[in-house]
Amino acid sequence: MLTAQARYQDPLEPLDSSQYATQLAQFSMVEQQVLANDRLAGLSAALATGNMAALAGWVGMEARAPAQARWAGDPIEVVAPRAPGADTATLVIETARGVEVARRSLPPGEDTLMWDGRDDAGSVLPYGNYSLSVESSALGVIVAREQAQVYARVVEAQVIDGQTHLLLEGGARIAAEGVSALRNRQGG
């Protein structure tokens, strides 16, 4: 562009050298920004590849997160912390469609329990996905209801729009930042 400007300038009104220097500096800055953007894109691609390699280690692990539990015959470890200030807490178990099937009182001072897949009548529930939540109460009034955390095997790790997502056994999809613990899969 500067070459074209110099070629077609009016000889009676030559280009001011300070304007020429300013334009040259601006073009240089634009060129440097384009180079920096190209380098950042390359670095981003390299990090994404490295991130994906790191995510491969998650597959097959058990991740603890607020997600639906998959009941398949083995007891499910449930982490169900009560809300601050609550004097009682109850684990509420619902089907994937939201039908309540069981309630379990959490002993004082404990926030982890094993759910055996039974309803309130003691009958074994059908295999499938269940939603587990914690109702915290203070002086008989419910002060909070939060989804409980369960362990589930990670079957796939994905990066979607720069965010890492995990697909868990049973079909739940969670954001990786929602994982509060990882462990080797028990029993295999």
100 and 34 in one domain? Answer: no
Q: C-alpha distances in angstroms, 173 versus 28, 152, 163?
A: 47, 11, 12
In angstroms, the CA 96 to CA 31 distance is 56
Confidence band of 45 (pLDDT split at 50, 70, 90)? low
In angstroms, the CA 159 to CA 157 distance is 7
158 and 143 in one domain? Answer: no
- Tell me which residue of 150, 131, 128 sits closest to 80, measured CA to CA: 150
Output the pLDDT for position 16. Answer: 63
Residue 82: CATH number of its domain: 2.60.40.4070
- For tokens 């300013």, the residue is 22
36 and 18 in one domain? Answer: yes
pLDDT single digits (tens) 85-102: 899 999 999 998 999 999
101 and 41 in one domain? Answer: no
Q: Per-residue pLDDT averaged across 174-180, rounded?
A: 88
pLDDT of 73 > 80? The answer is: yes
Output the pLDDT for position 123. Answer: 95
What pTM was estimated for this model as a whole?
A: 0.66
Which residue range(s) make up the domain with 175?
A: 59-63+151-183
141 and 89 in one domain? Answer: yes
In a domain, 188, yes or no: no
133 and 77 in one domain? Answer: yes
124 and 91 in one domain? Answer: yes
Cα separation of the two ends of the chain:
67
79 and 141 in one domain? Answer: yes
Confidence band of 155 (pLDDT split at 50, 70, 90)? very high
Specify the number of domains making up the chain. Answer: 3
32 and 75 in one domain? Answer: no
In angstroms, the CA 120 to CA 90 distance is 13
